[in-house]
Structure 1
Amino acid sequence: MLVNADFSRRAIVAPTEYQWVASPLSGVERVMLDRLGDEKARATSIVRYAPGSGYSPHLHPGGEEILVLSGTFSEGGKHYPAGWYLRNPPGSSHQPFSDEGALIFVKLWQMRADESRPVRIDTCDASRWAVKDGRESCLLFADRTEHVSIERLTAGARVFAGPVEGAEILVLEGCLLDSAQQHGPGSWIRLPAGEYLAFIAGSAGATMYLKTGHLSSHAREASAPC
């Protein structure tokens, strides 16, 4: 299965364009934002858990990255409400479920094979935030390949200061503007290498998940499922 599989092209999915697809597990649905493969795939998705739904224990050979958007996502005896960021490294296993229901942003098979450290960050914890380059930033992960953060922009602030080697954005609050569109909460944007100075925060500002460095051909090939 191929969904937004040409990484040389811009890809944008607005919430009004979400197409919910049932997963193999009852009560769990997903919106496929990009995908290369079937059930074992390099994939970026919005996943919705109905109350009381979940998966049986399973492995993640290529790793899994999660941002909890609403509700409470659980693994084993640990519970993560909205705002938590999780990274389960390649080779890890878990049994995810949600008693109350949850909406999560998920990325599969997009980690370096040698990544080994689990990450658990509560982005609602004020101590995690710092002012960087004139805006508030919550660092989630960084290595020599990628950089992941939550960014808060004031009205009119530029998303990028100059050219980028590709980027991925999920708008969490407020909106982003470019020369052609307005991107509200839930909008997912993937940008190939280029200059995107027209991307600015709207009149109420914007909060966004921002990931860079992972879209090079080398990074994609290194994390692709066999």
Structure 2
Amino acid sequence: MHGALLPWVPSPASGVERRLLYRAGGEKARATSLVRYAAGSAFPVHSHPGGEEFFVLEGTFQDERGDYPAGTYVRNPPGSQHAPRADQGCVIFVRLQQFDPQDTQECVVEPVHGDNILTTQMLFCSPTEQVSLERWEAGASLPSANPYGMEVLVLAGSIVEDLDLLEPMSWLRLPKGMPLQAKAGSAGARCWIKRSLAG
């Protein structure tokens, strides 16, 4: 899904819009989306029966627990709740209702800046999944093994996967057993990658 080309769809909250990458269900759906909060917008307090994870792409996302600037990764486990807002506006990548029921770990990973940026930054790892940020030089081949399933969100640069050019905000999901056959584009690539570790 080429997220940057999708229309912004209004949500039930004024000033909050979504680009739907994947959705199964109604408003309380199993969903993967890009979500844009206009400055001063907020979403009413709500729970996450199946968990929520998000990565802040632009601006600063906020809730009653604090501020999450661009580059922050957050996991809110099943049963958690919050009242999100964005005083100055923000864009996040969010996955809803997709946690393993046994995954109760809350997690906040702050952004890494400047010279501390690594080729690979591990954001989360459990017996069932691994989430990381990865940087690739121009023309580099991305790891191809995919025994249990994988998702990739391009954050910067581009990758070419099976002759398809994926630029920033493009999202790819591969079922288990289908290898990732991709190379970084001419400017390299920075990607958010989730790997399932169990079938």
The TM-score range, normalised by the shorter chain, is over 0.9
Residues 214/188 of structure 1: CA separation in 2 closer, same or farther (3 Å cut)? farther
Conservation of the 8 A alpha-carbon contact between 1:30 and 1:45: yes
With normalisation by structure 2, the TM-score equals: 0.92
CA distance in 2, matches of 1:116, 1:125: 29
| CA deviation vs aligned residue, 1:158-185 (integer Å, no higher than 9, x gap) | 1124344321111001100124121111
Conservation of the 8 A alpha-carbon contact between 2:2 and 2:166: no
**Runs (4+) off by over 3 Å:** 125-130, 161-164
- The 5 Å alignment of 1:119-158 reads 119-125=107-113, 130=118, 136-158=119-141
User: 1:40: Cα distance to partner?
Assistant: 1.1
Conservation of the 8 A alpha-carbon contact between 1:123 and 1:138: no
CA distance in 1, matches of 2:92, 2:67: 13
Greater mean deviation of Cα atoms: 148-157 or 119-128: 119-128
CA RMSD of aligned residues (A): 1.9
CA distance in 2, matches of 1:114, 1:179: 35
Paired position in structure 2 for 1:221: none
| Percent of matched pairs sharing the same residue | 44
User: 1:189: Cα distance to partner?
Assistant: 1.0
CA distance in 2, matches of 1:162, 1:192: 12
CA distance in 2, matches of 1:195, 1:92: 34
Paired position in structure 1 for 2:154: 171
Q: Matched residue of 1:62: which SS? A: coil
| 1:211 aligns with one of 186, 189, 194 | 194
Runs of at least 5 residues in structure 1 that lack an aligned partner in the other structure: 1-11, 131-135, 217-226
Matched, 1:111 2:99: yes
User: 1:208: Cα distance to partner?
Assistant: 0.2
User: 1:128: Cα distance to partner?
Assistant: 7.5
User: 1:195: Cα distance to partner?
Assistant: 2.2
Paired position in structure 2 for 1:66: 54
Runs of at least 5 residues in structure 2 that lack an aligned partner in the other structure: none
Letter in 2 for 1:15: A
Residues 107/163 of structure 1: CA separation in 2 closer, same or farther (3 Å cut)? closer
Matched, 1:42 2:30: yes
Letter in 2 for 1:75: D
Conservation of the 8 A alpha-carbon contact between 1:14 and 1:183: no
Greater mean deviation of Cα atoms: 203-212 or 155-164: 155-164
Paired position in structure 2 for 1:89: 77
